[in-house]
Amino acid sequence: MTSIPQELIDTIIHEVEDADSLKACTLTASSLRDTSQRILFNSLTLMLPGQYSVWSTRLAESPHVAEYIRTLRLRISSRHSQGFETQSLALVLGKLMNVRRCTIAGDGDLAFRNWDQLGPFAQVAIDFVRRQTLAELHLVFFNGLPLSVLALLVSCAPRVSFSHTEIGPFLMDSPSDPTPCLEQLLLAQKTSSISLALQAPECSPYLTKLRRLGLRPDGQYNGILVSVGPTLEHVRFDCTSRSSNSVLLPLPRLPVLRSVDLVILFGARHEAWLLDGLLDILRSCPDTLDEICVTYYTIDREILPPYVLQPATLATLDQTMANCTVSPRLRWRLDFDLDHDGEHLAAFTMFVQQGLPRVHERNKLMVEGFSFTEELREWSIR
């Protein structure tokens, strides 16, 4: 009897989408079991009380499962600080050796998210991060993060993000030798103190390989751009919290910058700071700049085309780009909340092409739809 190649079996198993079918496969032939378990246990979420001890027992009974886990979502909280929970978590994390993507979350409740309230949980998590070969690390919902811990976190993975996380006093209480590996950094909501801390001389050695930076332009954000300027190729400004009297500061010298992305709410498309910001970018950008991207999200069902920008605004932008020595591509990305986004995208495209005739003639204009879900995969907080 001719046997089916294992490679074909694995390919078929990877097409199975529902968990119940995969669980059934683990109970059948050995040729199906390993691949099915690798898919089922690819991701581990430890968010609820009691899960630490459950998984400690499970991994003790089936130690081979630990090697399948490549994504970990972990919540640590002072609410779980009983001794047996700490011990169970340490046992679980001690068995994981192949995690590549890790999210560590505190509590959204302000009263329970201070780093110094976590006790031994904090050290267990830090020891785990230090042992892994991570590709991504995401930290959410912490206050009072020590600067030494921040330095460790930005040296543990090439892609790191922070959200709703602020640090404590700017004191490097336990300096470590920098091992720069950070290539992409996202500073999302409520991370202003991290942005300031990373401008400190103690932290600058950790940023020498940074190529991609995403941040919210709140406060004196230009300092971190100056710090990473020599290597920065891509910068993304999340302007969704901008008010009508906001300003975008002119870019500092960024000699290898290749792209700038402005993410704005669609309702802010007529505000003066957006045009001023685009013009400042064009006037201060280096010769290396390939693209300026304006990302709208989301376009509500009630808002219909062609109201992208005022015609006078487009005319000013068209003239500036035509006279600019640098000739970057201008990309408009639209996140529709509409049933028939194809026709709306076509209408937007025609409107912008008519408003930017010289840019369009030089083949430097793009208009495209995009999914915010896909955007999260690129600039992720998991």
Closest CA to 299 of 216, 370, 373: 370
Q: What is the pLDDT of residue 381?
A: 46
pLDDT at 25: 45
Burial class, 74, CB count within 10 angstroms (exposed 0-12 / middle 13-18 / buried 19+)? buried
Going 83 to 88 to 89 to 94, the CA torsion angle's sign is positive
Cβ contact 77:49 at 8 Å: no
CA gap 36, 13 in Å, rounded: 7
Q: DSSP character for 2?
A: P
Tens of pLDDT, residue by residue over 299-311, are: 665 555 555 678 8
Q: Do the beta carbons of residue 322 and residue 315 sit within 8 Å?
A: no
Strands of the sheet containing 71-75, edge to edge, are: 43-46, 71-75, 101-105, 136-145, 159-167, 184-187, 212-215, 234-238, 259-265, 291-299, 329-336, 365-369
Cα distances (Å, whole numbers) of residue 305 to 299, 348, 349: 10, 6, 10
Q: Which residues pair with 234 in a beta bridge?
A: 212, 259
In 3-state terms the chain splits into helix, strand, coil percentages (rounded to 5) of 40, 20, 40
Q: What does the pLDDT read at residue 183?
A: 96
d(CA 180, CA 375): 26
Largest CA distance in the chain: 76
Distance, CA of 50 to CA of 77 (rounded, Å): 13
Q: Look up residue 173 and give its DSSP letter.
A: S
**CA distances, 312 to each of 87, 132, 296, 315, 318 (Å):** 65, 54, 19, 5, 10
pLDDT of residue 373: 58
pLDDT at 246: 65
- Please report, in tens digits, the pLDDT of each residue of the chain (382 residues total): 455 555 544 454 454 554 544 444 454 555 555 655 666 778 899 987 788 889 999 899 888 889 889 999 998 876 655 666 888 899 999 999 999 999 999 877 554 467 888 888 889 999 999 999 999 999 999 988 988 899 899 999 999 999 999 988 755 555 466 778 999 999 988 898 999 899 888 888 899 999 999 998 876 678 899 999 999 999 999 888 766 556 678 888 999 999 999 988 877 777 888 888 888 888 888 899 999 998 887 666 555 555 567 888 889 999 999 888 888 999 988 877 655 567 778 888 888 899 999 999 999 999 888 776 566 555 554 4
Question: Is the Cβ–Cβ distance between 236 and 213 less than 8 Å?
Answer: yes
Q: What is the pLDDT at residue 267?
A: 76
E strand or H helix at 72: strand 71-75
In the numeric block, the tokens 């201008």 are attached to 330
